């Protein structure tokens, strides 16, 4: 089981408290689709994903960004049992959505960059370390049901 | 594959970072060493405490090399040849670590530049760092 120090819990809560799910979700998903264009393969029904401006203005991307951040919130609320919390989400991503799990890491990286642009010097190396540990646990739980 | 716009963006960004090379480089290193503790195994010979002289000096060298690469993107292999040999025959870093450091460079740039570090700039720098690391790892085997 993952062990969290009090400092790590506080750091992760602090990052979440500053997150505007709609705006951060939209921008993180936009960066994923722009920086790693192959990820667009999973969003065929989303309409115009042609360039950065189109993606940022796309209401389906915005809606989905919020959904993903709400999913991460589930992990935050169950930090001591993320694996089981994510069991059905993991199955969904592997069986139904058929997403290559390598892309989860990439989304996490994009989300981290967005947080860095907003929090700036407040996103210290120690806070980044705690935040990335949390993301690593979430990504690992999402990969669990793939076989 | 970098477009002309992307190459310009990359040069612009690294030119802005050169005057604060020590700050940017040491911060990126510190982020990597804190977030990915296994990377500390390569720095047993240095004082890697925050704001140490070693960290600042080492960070400055890295940013200067990146800025030089940015100005010579079409001849990266030639420009980086000595560094490439150094990383292959002396440092012998496990190749997965390049990605970890590149990510920390991106986070450092994002913290310093803020929202002007747009998705397009992010993509350009990520591509540049991948190309740069590929050349550094070229002679590994």
Tell me how far apart the alpha carbons of residues B125 and B37 are, in angstroms, rounded to a whole number. Answer: 24
- Min distance B12 CA to chain A CA atoms (Å): 18
Q: Which domains does chain B have, with CATH numbers?
A: 4-140 (1.10.490.10)
pLDDT digit string, tens, across residues B86-117: 998 899 988 889 999 999 999 999 999 999 99
Secondary structure (DSSP) of A32-80: HHHHSGGGGGGGGGG---SSHHHHHT-HHHHHHHHHHHHHHHHHHHTGG
Q: Is there a contact between B122 and A52 if contact means CB atoms under 8 Å apart?
A: no
Q: Is the pTM of this model over 0.90?
A: yes
Instruction: Please count the residues of chain A.
Output: 147
Instruction: Mark out chain A residues that contact chain B at CB-CB < 8 A.
Output: 27, 30-31, 34-35, 52, 55-56, 109-110, 112-114, 116-121, 123, 125-126, 128-129, 132
Query: All domains of chain A, ordered by start, with CATH?
Result: 6-143 (1.10.490.10)
pLDDT by residue, tens only, chain A of 147 residues: 899 999 999 999 999 999 999 999 999 999 999 999 999 999 999 999 999 999 999 999 999 999 999 999 999 999 999 999 999 999 999 999 999 999 999 999 999 999 999 999 999 999 999 999 999 999 999 999 888
């Amino acid at each position: 089981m993952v062990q969290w120090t009090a400092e790590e819990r506080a750091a992760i809560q602090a990052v979440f408290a500053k997150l505007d799910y709609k705006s951060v979700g939209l921008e993180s998903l936009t960066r994923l689709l722009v920086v790693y264009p192959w990820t667009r393969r999973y969003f065929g029904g989303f309409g115009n994903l042609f360039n950065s401006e189109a993606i940022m203005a796309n209401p389906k991307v915005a809606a989905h960004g919020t959904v993903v951040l709400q999913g991460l919130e589930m992990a935050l609320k169950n930090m001591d049992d993320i694996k089981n919390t994510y069991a059905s989400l993991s199955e969904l991503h592997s069986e139904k959505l058929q997403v290559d799990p390598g892309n989860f890491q990439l989304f996490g990286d994009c989300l981290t960059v967005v947080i860095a642009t907003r929090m700036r010097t407040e996103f210290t190396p120690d806070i980044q370390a705690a935040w990335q540990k949390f993301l690593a646990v979430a990504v690992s739980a999402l990969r669990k049901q793939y076989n | 594959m970098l477009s002309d716009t992307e190459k310009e963006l990359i040069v612009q960004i690294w030119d802005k970072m050169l005057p604060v090379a020590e700050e940017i480089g040491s911060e990126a290193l510190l982020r990597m060493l804190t977030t990915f503790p296994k990377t500390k195994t390569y720095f047993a010979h240095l004082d890697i405490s925050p704001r140490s002289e070693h960290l600042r000096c080492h960070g400055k060298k890295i940013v200067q090399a990146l800025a030089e690469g940015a100005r010579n993107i079409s001849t990266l292999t030639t420009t980086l040849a000595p560094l490439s040999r150094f990383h292959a025959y002396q440092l012998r870093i496990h190749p997965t670590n390049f990605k970890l450091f590149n990510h920390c460079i991106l986070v450092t740039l994002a913290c310093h530049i803020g929202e002007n570090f747009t998705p397009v700039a992010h993509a350009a720098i990520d591509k540049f760092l991948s190309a740069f690391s590929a050349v550094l790892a070229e002679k590994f085997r």
